[in-house]
A and B are shown apart, each in its own frame.
Chain A
């Protein structure tokens, strides 16, 4: 049974049912948020740290959440921002370029015990990793999470037209990557 966001938010407003509301929110969104983060940062341990950071932020700020946007849109926005900030920090800390970071993420994909894809799946992920940040986000959200462009627009704060263009470019680049020989 899927609990409506309105019910969760209503329970969260009451001190007595706040923890219950948060538990319902976790049940509904923890996996979606995790996979969204994981596709951005690739590494499970990094995703695990980030998912905790995200939900602690949600706990702290949900009381101030204005219901002029969807709850899931708000959650995805926090998760996306945290993940991008994390990758920027990682790049800065290791003093590497975007290309080097993509290569590093690709290597972690090969070394990871938590990736079970075959050769073509691995090649697809390697292609996604090489995409610019915005194209990567749009492709993952559209292709894997099957979000509507309007929903992605709400999360990323980018116009639907720009997102469609980014998605189209991402698909072209990935197709090109898949057709090249190793």
Chain B
């Protein structure tokens, strides 16, 4: 203890303090100071790296940003201001409830067309079309037979002689019954007729 520097007569003025050994009672973790040195060097190196920004912003970005922010604040203020209109008391609360109820209630949907009706109508149309077609077909066939029955045999024979060729013979033969063929009297046919027949028949 340097008495000439601190102007204290330690033994007289602070005997208890004077009796305490001057030692450092604080401790640090093991190897703390060995690790502190490189750690601090790393810290300052990082500090240097952190100074340079690798990011860039467009020219005048911050000036524009400032004006944009101020404009946005003004718009928000205007929106939040009272606009002079008043809604009935509890209007928005009640409107919300009404909307919720309306959304929850299922709507009765009105069908423009009844699906079953369409099915039945389509089936009826098909049946009608088919029936009409069959009817007219049968009628036409009956009408042709009826018309032919009224024609004299000579007219039919003349028509066949004029309008048929060898290709039509199988169809004609199919419509001739044996009776009519064999009922022919050989005496009724002349020799020339038989000769012609044989000549033109393949």
Contacts and interface: CB of A to CB of B under 8 A. Distances in A.
A175 B6 contact: no
Given A30-B36, A114-B29, A175 B23 contact: no
B25 A56 contact: no
A86 to B, nearest CB: 17
A148 interface: yes
A64 interface: no
A60 B40 CA distance: 13
B14 A174 contact: yes
Contact of B14 (A30, A35, A56, A172): A172
B192 interface: no
Contact of B24 (A35, A44, A148, A172): A35
B41 A148 contact: no
B13 A167 contact: no
Contact of B22 (A34, A144, A174): A144
B141 interface: no
Contacts of B8: 167-168, 171
Interface stretch (A66-74, A88-96, A99-107, A118-126): A118-126
29 contacts: A22-B41, A26-B37, A26-B40, A26-B41, A27-B37, A34-B28, A34-B33, A44-B27, A44-B29, A52-B39, A56-B43, A56-B44, A59-B47, A60-B47, A114-B26, A115-B27, A117-B25, A120-B20, A121-B20, A121-B23, A121-B25, A124-B20, A125-B25, A146-B2, A148-B5, A171-B17, A172-B14, A175-B13, A175-B17
Interface of B: 2, 5-8, 13-17, 20, 22-29, 32-33, 36-37, 39-41, 43-45, 47
